[in-house]
Amino acid sequence: ASASDWQKRTVYQVMTDRFALPPSEDAQGKTCDASAQLPCGGTWSGIQNHLDYIQAMGFNAIWISPIVSQLQVPLPPPADGTAYHGYWPENIYALNDAFGSDSDLRSLINAVHSRGMYIMVDVVVNHMATYNTTSPSAAPTSPLAGISLNGYNPFNQDSDYHSFCPITDYGNQTMVEQCWLGSAAVPLADVNTEDQATVDLYYSWINTLISNYTFDGLRIDTVKHIRKSFWPGFANASSVFTLGEVLDGDAQYVGDYTNYLDAVFDYPGWGMILQAFQTTGGSMSMLAQSIQNTSTYFKNGGFSTGSFLENHDQPRFPSFTNDTGLIKNAIAYTFIGDGLPIVYEGQEQEYSGGAVPNNREAIWLSAYEQDKPLFKHITSLNMARQAAMNGSSSFLSTHMKVLSTSAHSIALAKYPMLASLTNIGQGSQGQVSVSVGSLGTGYSANSQLVEVLSCTEVNVDGSGNLAFTTQQGAPAVFLPSSMVNSKVCTNL
Ligand code: ABC
Ligand code: CA
């Protein structure tokens, strides 16, 4: 599937080891202590068995953890833990048998496709993970000292890697690209992607992987750690939508990568969402500025981004605040903009784990409860986005605009959707006051709207003013009444 196919979707991020146990073990109430960094037993068959849960929230795409065979470390594990997450490749031509068999994976992909959903696979091509047997407490001093490449496929020679050097200065781009991530105990041996044979090998690997399994898209790990000129050929060889991870807060730095891949995660915007909604003192004008930066520095502005509030690498949002007003606003932000909305498993359950590894709680511990407030909130946002898309053919090609900001609120329009977000907090009522007529939002005086999160009807007055009061610091998302069906609001 292409970038424009994906633009119509919303994505649920599945961390395979933590989402669902295989059907035979599902009811056994197995525990999972995220802090132990050990495999908890989630599998591809588990995901397949719980697609209803994901679809019930309105998602029509999933992103799964990397699928290839992983480095095994001795137990008890080193400080970095084990490869339960899938980001420690050792053999890129074999599947990770902890997640199931080849036929389990194919069965999952078929099940996803038969529901009309897409599946995105995560891939790691910057490094192979290694275990330093000689001095796991000290940094390696020479290339691959203490490391055996027995069993690696491919890249089982020292010469397949850049010479060892740790990344110590993220401001030095050559170092970022050619030195090594990871720790002394588990160095992530940096593949020599300057070598043309290695480049060709990766291009052919991704081409085969995609055609063999019919994945619809790629989440690409560690994009800033390989030279930019590597990426267009890789993306072409995959022939599907590419969404890259460039972990940096600078919009200009991150945005340039959209000239090499279809899209990148909106890490700069994420930082601004955090500052805006983490407390009742966040700045709305800084958030507005970041929207401006996205339009300046990203190819097609926000259209070339993946929009997220949480992922498996960052502390969960409710670890910063338990104010449900703030949490709902921050989640809403990811659904009303130009980027591809992505929700990390567990957000719907209001999981609140802090930094890695505590942000990787098993979802089965929630019993896949569908009555939770955030499960319903996310469902409403998915339904509203779908209704906007169905209601107006221009929704997907219209850039979100900032209408106004005030101390505690920001009004945003992406016709036919109009939103007002606030960081006033759950203890307060919010006053929405927007003049719609003069702003090119597509609304006019006397329009009949529905605020779709509370399912309340509201009319724009004769002079084009929209006034609305939100309760408990909630966000407000409006659509024209004519577009609101019973999937969005059962009472209407
Ligand atoms: C494990 C343990 C951790 C332990 C670590 C040493 O070992 O879990 O508790 O601290 C995988 C696993 C991790 C594992 C690592 C290392 O491998 O998931 O659990 O950590 O073994 C991607 C993936 C990530 C994955 C890998 C490796 C890469 O999403 O899940 O990790 O395949 C860098 C990379 C980024 C990478 C990330 C983990 O490391 O660039 O691709 N993520 C600065 C740098 C970033 C850097 C980041 C690290 O620090 O600029 O490049 O990310 O925290 C902002 C700034 C940013 C700044 C941040 C901290 O602040 O703008 O620039 O980022 O404001
Ligand atoms: Ca590299």
Which protein residue has the closest C-alpha to ligand 1 atom 24? 313
Interatomic CA distance for residues 317 and 282, integer angstroms: 14
- Whether 221 is catalytic: yes
Q: In this model, does residue 132 exceed pLDDT 50?
A: yes
Per the structure block, which two tokens stand in for 343?
């929700």
Nearest residue (CA) to ligand 1, atom 47: 247
- Specify the DSSP class assigned to residue 446: T
Token digits for 292?
């401006």
Assign 29 a pLDDT band (cuts: 50, 70, 90): confident
Task: Examine the pLDDT at 438 and tell me if it is beyond 70.
Answer: no
pLDDT at 444: 86
Q: For position 401, what pLDDT does the model report? A: 94
Question: Which-ligand-closest: CA of 178?
Answer: 2
Q: Enumerate the β-bridge partners of residue 68.
A: 95
Q: What is the mean pLDDT of residues 163-173?
A: 94
Q: Is the CB of residue 277 less than 8 Å from the CB of residue 333?
A: yes
CA terminus-to-terminus distance, the chain: 35
Identify the active-site residue in 216, 245, 262, 451. Answer: 245
| Ligand 1 pocket check for 414: Cβ under 6 Å | no
Interval between CA 385 and ligand 1 midpoint (Å): 31
Q: Is the CB of 221 under 6 A from ligand 1?
A: yes
* Coil, helix or strand at residue 37: coil
248 lines ligand 1 (CB under 6 A): yes
pTM here?
0.97
Confidence of residue 298 (pLDDT cuts 50, 70, 90): very high
CB of 66 sitting under 6 A from ligand 1: no
Residue 223 contacts residue 68 (beta carbons within 8 Å): no
**Which residue has the least CA distance to atom 30 on ligand 1?**
313
Taking the CA of residue 183 as reference, the ligand 1 atom at the shortest distance is: 6
Q: Which of 90, 221, 345, 361 is catalytic?
A: 221
Q: Is the pLDDT of residue 223 over 70?
A: yes
Nearest to 406 by CA among 419, 420, 426: 420
Q: In this structure, what DSSP letter does residue 153 have?
A: B
Highest mean pLDDT pick, 16-30, 282-296, 421-435, 460-474: 282-296
**Nearest CA owner, ligand 1 atom 4:** 80
Atom of ligand 1 nearest to the CA of 250: 61
Give yes or no for residue 211 having a pLDDT over 90: yes
| Residue 68 pLDDT > 50 | yes
How far, in Å, from the CA of 88 to the mean position of ligand 2?
Answer: 14
Contact 335 CB / ligand 1 (< 6 Å): no
Closest CA to 467 of 449, 482, 453, 492: 449
**299, amino acid identity:** K
- pLDDT at 345 (0 to 100): 99
Residue nearest to atom 10 of ligand 1 (CA): 80
Torsion angles phi and psi, residue 121, rounded to 5? -105, 145
For residue 441, name the pLDDT band (cuts at 50, 70, 90): low
Mean pLDDT (whole number) for 374-403: 96
Q: Report the alpha-carbon distance of residue 287 to residue 129 in Å, rounded.
A: 38
User: Would you say the ipTM is above 0.90?
Assistant: yes
Return the residue matching tokens 């009522």: 429
Does residue 173 line the site of ligand 1, with CB under 6 A? Answer: no
246 alpha carbon – ligand 1 mean position (Å): 10
Q: Establish whether residue 313 lines the binding site of ligand 1, counting it when its CB lies within 6 angstroms of any ligand atom.
A: yes
Question: Is the pLDDT reported for residue 350 higher than 60?
Answer: yes
Q: How far apart are CA 231 and CA 215, in angstroms?
A: 18
Whether 491 shows a pLDDT value over 90: the answer reads no
Mutate to test the pocket of ligand 1, among 87, 257, 275, 359 (most ligand atoms within 8 A of CB): 87
- Position 136 scores a pLDDT of 46
Percent of the chain with pLDDT over 70: 97
- In this structure, what token pair is assigned to residue 47? 């995901």
Alpha carbons 196 and 321: distance in angstroms, whole number: 48
- The distance from CA 379 to its chain's CA centroid, rounded to whole angstroms, is 17
* H/E element, 90: strand 89-95
Spatial contact of 238 and 125, defined as CB atoms under 8 Å apart: no
266 catalytic, yes or no? no
Q: Give the distance from CA 212 to its chain's centroid.
A: 25
158: pLDDT strictly greater than 70: yes
Q: Which residues pair with 401 in a beta bridge?
A: 413
The average confidence (pLDDT) of the chain is 95
Per-residue pLDDT, averaged over 448-457, amounts to 97
Residue of 247, 270, 311, 314 to test ligand 1 pocket, by largest number of atoms within 8 Å of CB: 247
The DSSP symbol for 288 reads H
Q: How many angstroms from the chain centroid is the CA of residue 348?
A: 14
Closest residue by Cα to atom 1, ligand 1, is 80
Q: Nearest-CA neighbor of 308 among 2, 11, 1, 5?
A: 11
| Closest CA to ligand 1's atom 41 | 222
pLDDT at 439: 55
What's the pLDDT at 484?
Answer: 96
* Rounded alpha-carbon distances, angstroms, from residue 85 to 16, 253, 292, 350, 394: 8, 27, 35, 21, 39
Q: Tell me, in angstroms, the distance from the centre of ligand 1 to residue 319's CA.
A: 19
